[in-house]
Structure 1
Amino acid sequence: MTTAYSAMMTPGMESALEPALKLLADHLIALDKRLHDARPSYVVIGAGVSATVAIQAFYYLLDLRKRCRTKGALWLFFESVKALPIVKGLIAAERGKMIAEMDADMSKKLAKEPPRLTSLPAKGMSVDAVLVEAAQRKRKDLEWTPTGSLMSGAVYMADDAHFKMLSSVYSSFAHSNPLHGDAFPAVVRMENEVVNMTATMLGCSPGGPNPNVCGLMTSGGTESILTAIRATRDYSRDVRGIKAPEMIVAISAHAAVYKAADYFGIELVRVGVDENFRMDINAVRRAVNGNTILIYASTPGYPHGAVDDIQALAAIAKRRKCCLHVDACLGGFVLPFASSIKPFDFRVDGVTSMSVDTHKYGLAQKGSSVVLYNSAALRQYQYTAVMDWSGGLYISPSQAGSRSGGLIAQTWAALMRMGREGYQRVADDVIAGANELRAGLSEIDGLKVLGEDVSMVVAWGSSDPSLNIYTVNDVMVKKGWHLSVLQAPPALHMCLTSANVASVRQLCVDLAIAVKETRALGKGKVDGGKAPIYGLAGGLPDRGTVGDILKDVQDLMLKHV
């Protein structure tokens, strides 16, 4: 024993380690005695099984740590409790009861005319008959008017002549497809010009830090965000050797980041926001590590209209050698013309990609967005090249293969018609409307404006604990308004556009009345209102169950159309 113990010691070993090493030596000697008469094959098999079990346990704990980090310890607790048969049964019963009530309510509201089609008509209809049928169905939709909209966001243009021009240009190029650029060079050139015009507006200049900005058009903000994140993942894997990618996002980041994390196998690291709902810079500093491929910032964030500090985030990204994506889907065509906003685009060294929607404040029709990169080297990771297909050599620059040349052409037409002067005018109107709404809200007893950034989004919550902001929304729905509903904290917002900015004064008047009517209801609710559902979703700590309910509701929405 003394010999074995002495062999383990080194001349420089501190005396404090001697008791522990002696204990270890004693255990090793005891183990040798127990295995002295064991068959060698048993020892090998036992060691292998033990090692396998230990490795599996190690990876299980790593996976558990990862899920706790992304979803929280509370999620782990509820997942464990929900696995119990009695709890699982109770949750299923309550969930089924809630969905059955919603199903019955939606069934009452289901339009009976025209009857729902379930198969192809036996015989094709005439052109006139199809047009009549389409017009009949369109009457069910919210009617678009150039001004006076009561809807948050959604409708951005307030110029009937502009709308008709876009429709005309679209129809002229509806047959074209940029995938076949040799046959349709016009739309390929138009796409290139849309990208160049957008890049220049967002800080690309020969003397700036990012003189080689490039990009492509996509079908919308979500695709632009997904495309940029996927390209960044592949770039980081090849250039930095990152095989376990992580992406840092604020809790207010657009929901598309959750899709990207799910689709592309990226760990989502969520950080909080400050008192003005901007991404918490100190939390980002703590979260970034060697596996971070991307910091995701918003200008502005959808919920509260907060503009993240891009300069501070870019400094972190440069220092840690990771990428920085700026989501400017909402703000891309407004904030460049707002003098109160600090640089947030490619004027800032460290910004590597951006997403900006041309079908919002770019005033193109739906199905149009732009993704931008600070270099062609990063953009190439968006491409898909197939070398060994029997159909020939294949290269596609985007997730979609065929794309609508009509959408590209009408986007080009929108930018050409508006010009810098036109977008400046829209930005001035929207910012003035936001200031007017913020001032009006501050005069309504019981409401408070959230955040201090003045952008196109104005959010407000309740300053009175007894005032249910979701019931206020139900009252506003009865008055014809379609506001956006937020959670954590409970709030509403209005996204101001050219189509609804003239309605700001009426919004303030109706909100003041709605607050009084909500107080008169006490703990009552509006018939057919959604306040109980929002209250349940906000108050239920088990977010997994909330997600399951949302999936059931989505099924109902697809069913009852």
Structure 2
Amino acid sequence: MSERPLPLKAINRFFEGKEPWQIVTITASSVLAIVWTHSLYNAKESVPARLRKEFFRWLRQVPFVRRKIEEKMAEIKKDFKKDVAKRLSGMTVYRHLPKDGFTAEQVAEEIRKHLVLGSYDWKGGNVSGAVYHVNEDISRVACEAYALTAYTNPLHADVFPGINKMEAEIVRMSVNLFNGDEECCGTVTTGGTESIMMACKAFRDLAYSRGITNPQMILPATAHTAFDKAAQYLGIGIVTVPVSTETYTVDLNAVKRAIGRRTCMIVGSAPNFPYGTMDDIEALSDIAVEYDVPLHVDACLGGFIAAFMTAAGHDMPLFDFRLPGVSSISADTHKYGYAPKGTSVIVYRKHQYRHHQYTVSTEWPGGVYGSPTVNGSRAGGLIAACWATMMFVGRARYVQMTDEIITTARYIEAEVRKIEGLFIFGKPATTVVAFGSQRFDIFKLADELHKKGWSLNTLQFPSGIHIAVTHAHTQSGVADRFIADLQSAAKICLKEGSEPVQGKMAIYGVAQSIPDRSLVSDITKHFIDSMYYLPKPEDSDE
């Protein structure tokens, strides 16, 4: 009879002389520890992130800490409500349907009142991004198209085949702009977030079909937060890789190291939202081909600018289907495609990928049900307005507007580089110019610009602000006015030195210094709550 293997001998010696209850306890504890360790490894978040969350969750249970947090949150909620009440001061708040409906004239007058409640002159070009053109002829054509088709629904293809045709043509025109072939395909969505979510859903399900039960996607730290939203909705793990502190583009070696058996997709930005820099899509394509992993290019922000830049005489590296590793591209028609808000496209190299985007139910009593995107019923009016915009603007005008925008963006970039105390993050690829300071609190500069009527985007990790140049900024004198105000604000900040910003803008600096990110999350949720808050007469006394 052969001797027992050494591991069994060691186990027997370990349990020798122990009571049965001790053996059971040790065994159960060991199994639980193994299961816990396995869950950490296979979790959607990294082990350090989960441990950090657990620590702060425990800390928030301490009575003294919990009480202080609750007091501060109550104060923050009250401040948010005060801000809303101030903005809506003098407005009638409607909590019930009117007994008798308004006349058309009354409705129009009420809408006009609501449109002027904001603090910024967006038509005058004082806002970063948000509204991408102010051309009345384009707006008129789009709005007329929407009015004609407002009650159509492409879900009912037999009732509204013309809307389906328009959607198919938007997709095909987009595919051609991104140099795809006849095999390339896609859908129209309600915006960049849905386009990104659909790509994540497609490649998650592709991973499932390949036997990967807990897929992960590899994201640059600068990838749009919509990927994190997709991960939360779809149960996909995230591996975040750093970007260069010089170029603010993704670290290619870090991408390679992050690839593993669970990888379902790699993401590259063209450009990214925070800094406007563009990841090396050509190198990412090579990595995607080498490791047989789909590469999604997020061109939501700048895709409909980047597609025309070469024709407009501006440099633009390859980022589209000419690169063999590019599996999908998201691009927003409601940004530099100039369509009304609510449309974007997601396009794929293969029909196989788009099939994984679809949702099909075959056992429902209501019949076999299939839908291409998140929504079932969709706004045919938005599809028609997008189609009308693209057909009305046409290639030549897109090229012309692209040249005007990029020329303005490069002018602003060059002038910002001359301003004492400021530096540019990396090399702007399309329309976003991001800047920071090592001489003063950059949020103080944002506050000074706010006082002058400018609304810019604030950045964190590291601190910065950016302007996304739109066609509104190409209006006569707007860029020069922005530079003059920026120079003036920078002088004020240099004079005051390293004193931190005060007031509302201070929250941006404070937020990124809070180690417990769940607190920042709670504050953000209270801010979102305030967007749905309607003041009551008795609230004015608070």
Q: Does TM-score exceed 0.5, indicating one fold?
A: yes
The C-alpha deviation readout for 1:86-143, integer Å capped at 9, x for no partner, is: 3333333333334434444x15514233221112122222222222222222232468
Q: Which amino acid aligns with 2:309?
A: A
Q: Which residue number corresponds to residue 103 of structure 2?
A: 126
How many aligned residue pairs are there? 526
> Closer, same or farther in 2 for the Cα pair 1:523/1:553, shift >3 Å?
farther
Secondary structure in 2 matching 1:7: coil
Deviations 1:122-172 (A, max 9, x none): 2222222222222222232468776x4111011112321111111111111
Shift of 1:81: 3.0
Q: Are the counterparts in 2 of residues 68 and 75 from structure 1 also a CA contact under 8 Å?
A: no
- Post-superposition shift, 1:319? 2.0
Distance 2:281 2:529 in 1: 39
SS of residue in 2 equivalent to 1:217: strand
Give the aligned partner of residue 441 of structure 1. 416
Q: Is 2:481 the counterpart of 1:506?
A: yes
Matched-pair contact (CA < 8 Å) for 2:171–2:188 = yes
Q: Distance in 1 between matches of 2:84 and 2:273?
A: 32
For the pair 1:488 / 2:461, whether they are aligned, the reply is yes
Change (3 A) 1:500 1:163: same
2:151 corresponds to which residue? 175
Q: Whole-Å Cα distance in 1 between the matches of residues 35 and 531 of structure 2?
A: 40
Given the superposition, is the C-alpha separation of residues 109 and 521 from structure 1 closer, same or farther in structure 2, using an over 3 Å criterion? farther
SS at match of 1:458: strand
Contact 1:70 1:269 in 2 (8 A): no
1:539–1:187 CA distance, 2 compared to 1 (3 A):
same
Percent of aligned pairs sharing the same letter: 36
Aligned equivalent of 1:263: 233
Other structure's SS at 1:178 match = coil
Name the CA shift for 1:134/1:26 in 2 (closer, same or farther; >3 Å): closer
Do residues 25 (structure 1) and 9 (structure 2) align? yes
Distance in 1, Cα, partners of 2:455 & 2:77: 24
Where do 5+ consecutive residues of structure 2 fail to align?
A: 536-542
Residue identity opposite 1:538 in structure 2 = Q
RMSD: 2.5
Q: Aligned to 1:476, which of 449, 459, 462? A: 449
Greater Cα offset, 168-177 or 65-74: 65-74
Q: Which runs of 5+ in 1 are unaligned?
A: 10-20, 206-210
What SS does structure 2 have at the residue aligned with 1:391? coil
Letter in structure 2 aligned against 1:475: E
Q: 1:84 aligns with which of 37, 56, 62?
A: 62
Cα-to-partner distance string for 1:451-484 (whole Å, 9 max, x where unaligned): 11331100000131xx111011111111110111
Q: 1:293 aligns with which of 244, 247, 264?
A: 264
Matched residue SS, 2:36? helix
Residue of structure 1 equivalent to 2:72:
94
Give the Å deviation of 1:214: 0.1
Structure 1: distance between partners of 2:534 and 2:497: 32
Which residue of 444, 449, 454 corresponds with 2:429? 454
Question: Of 391, 394, 400, which aligns to 1:425?
Answer: 400
Distance 1:525 1:121 in 2: 49
Which of 137, 142, 152 is the aligned partner of 1:161? 137
CA distance in 2, matches of 1:26, 1:390: 60
Aligned twin of 2:540? none
**Change in CA separation of 1:336 and 1:137 when aligned onto 2, cut-off 3 Å:** closer
Bigger radius of gyration: 1
Q: Using a 3 Å threshold, how does the CA distance of structure 1 residues 535 and 329 change in structure 2: closer, same or farther?
A: same
Amino acid at match of 1:81: L
1:432-461 Cα deviation digits (max 9, x unpaired): 112111110111110111111331100000
* Residues 1:319 and 2:290 aligned together: yes
1:213 aligned to 2:184?
Answer: yes
Note if contact 2:120-2:454 (Cα within 8 Å) is conserved in structure 1.
Answer: no
CA–CA distance in structure 1, aligned partners of residues 53 and 427 of structure 2? 33
Paired residues of 1:68 and 1:76 also in contact (CA < 8 A): no
SS at match of 1:460: strand
Q: Secondary structure at the match of 1:499?
A: helix
Judge conservation of contact 1:434–1:454 (CA < 8 Å) in 2. no
- Deviation for aligned residue 1:201: 0.4
Preserved CA contact (<8 Å) 2:241 2:255: yes
Name the structure 2 match of 1:7. 3
| Separation in structure 1 between the aligned mates of residue 523 and residue 237 of structure 2, nearest angstrom | 24
Corresponding position of 2:222: 252
Name 1:14's counterpart in structure 2.
none
- Among residues 483, 504, 510, which one is paired with 1:530 in the alignment? 504
Q: Distance in 1 between matches of 2:117 and 2:66?
A: 40
Residues 329 and 357 of structure 1 are in contact (CA less than 8 Å); yes or no, is this contact kept in structure 2? yes
Q: Distance in 1 between matches of 2:119 and 2:139?
A: 17
State which drifts further: 163-172 or 77-86.
77-86
Deviation at 1:33, TM superposition (A): 6.5
CA distance in 1, matches of 2:132, 2:100: 39
| 495-504 or 246-255, which deviates more | 495-504
Aligned to 1:12: none
In 2, Cα distance between equivalents of 1:27 and 1:195: 64
Return the letter of the residue paired with 2:242. Answer: G
Q: 2:257 matched to 1:282?
A: no
Residues 53, 362 of structure 1: CA spacing in aligned structure 2 closer, same or farther, 3 A cutoff?
same
Which amino acid in 1 is paired with 2:131? V
Using the alignment, how far apart are the partners of 1:479 and 1:231 within structure 2? Answer: 45
Counterpart of 1:334 in 2: which secondary structure?
helix
- For residues 74 and 199 of structure 2, the distance between their equivalents in structure 1, rounded to whole angstroms, comes to 39
Alignment partners' CA distance in 2, 1:144 and 1:170? 25
Q: Cα deviations across residues 4-59 of structure 1 (Å, max 9, x unaligned)? A: xx8247xxxxxxxxxxx4x9737625746768xx7xxx89xx65x65554333222
Which stretch of the first structure deviates more once superposed, 124-133 or 184-193? 124-133
Q: Does 1:390 find its partner at 2:374?
A: no
Work out the CA distance in 2 between the residues paired with 1:277 and 1:485: 16
The match for 2:322 is 347
Q: Distance in 1 between matches of 2:249 and 2:196?
A: 19
Spell out, residue by residue over 1:50-72, the C-alpha distance to the aligned partner (whole angstroms, 9 max, x if none): 55543332222333454444736
Q: Bigger shift: 125-134 or 379-388?
A: 125-134
Q: 1:92–1:179: structure 2 CA closer, same or farther, 3 Å change rule? A: same
Q: Counterparts of 2:79 and 2:146 in 1: how far apart (Å)?
A: 43
Alpha-carbon distance in 2 for matches of 1:162, 1:142: 25
Cα 1:481/1:453, change in 2 over 3 Å: closer
For the residues of structure 2 that align with 1:526 and 1:120, how far apart are their CA atoms? 44
